[in-house]
Amino acid sequence: MTLLGIAVVIIGFALRFNPLLVVVVAGIVTGLAGNLPVEKILTVFGEAFIKNRYLPLFLLTLPVIGLLERNGLKEQALTLISKIKAATSGRLLILYLFIREVAAAIGLTALGGHAQLVRPLIAPMAEAAAENKFGKLPEATRNKIKAYAASADNVGLFFGEDIFIAFGAILLMKGFFEQNGIILEPLQIAVWGIPTAITAFIIHGTRLLLLDKSIQREVEQAAESEKELNKHAC
């Protein structure tokens, strides 16, 4: 009888009902089939919601970003970056890398992300900066810029959060050392993440600086190839 919930899920998805509604009904059916009182079922739902309260917020991010894009968020970003003559893809991404790493180091890990910032703002602005400087971009070059924008977010977050004293990995190391008789404060462990974070910034920042030259080279090669094709066509 307790497997009735699985049947509800299969039937609900087969009939293309609302997935959230199907899962909730399946949970209720499973609870009733297991002779659980209604109060207990509601308690289980409440505890699950509290433990995963950040998941609904994350899921809400996607439609909100989509709505902003539909109403011109990307176009406004392109307009803004086009007014900054000194902006290049590399410089813009270095600035984002620095902000992301510093923010993560003080615990603001949510101040960025691929869905929230990279896709709707950072990547389009980096593309626009490259177009302003080098002209029309090949599709492969656009994809490369998007990849570098994502990498700036990844590197900044990964190495920046290692400096934050309340980061889970630091607390895990503290517990491990204590089990082996070594007493360390989280700050003592976090300090050793600073040289690594600085090194990561220098290495990836250098790669981002070289990105501008790479974009220029690819645009010139694409232009030469197009000229050759036009010459043969004539």
Task: Please tell me the distance from the alpha carbon of residue 217 to that of residue 134, in angstroms, as a whole number.
Answer: 10
Stretch 138-159: mean pLDDT, rounded?
A: 93
Residues 6+ apart with CB under 8 A from 201: 97, 98, 101, 155, 156, 159
* Structure tokens given for 151: 């990498």
User: What angle is formed at CA 35 by the lines to CA 31 and CA 36, rounded to 5 degrees?
Assistant: 55
109-128 pLDDT per residue, tens: 877 888 778 888 888 889 88
Please say if the pLDDT value at position 133 is more than 80. Answer: yes
**pLDDT at residue number 210:** 94
Query: Which residue is listed with tokens 């981002």?
Result: 208
pTM of this prediction?
0.67
DSSP single-letter state for residue 113: -
Nearest to 187, CA basis, from 160, 157, 156, 166? 166
**pLDDT at residue number 215:** 93
Please say if the pLDDT value at position 35 is more than 70. Answer: yes
Stretch 129-137: mean pLDDT, rounded?
A: 87
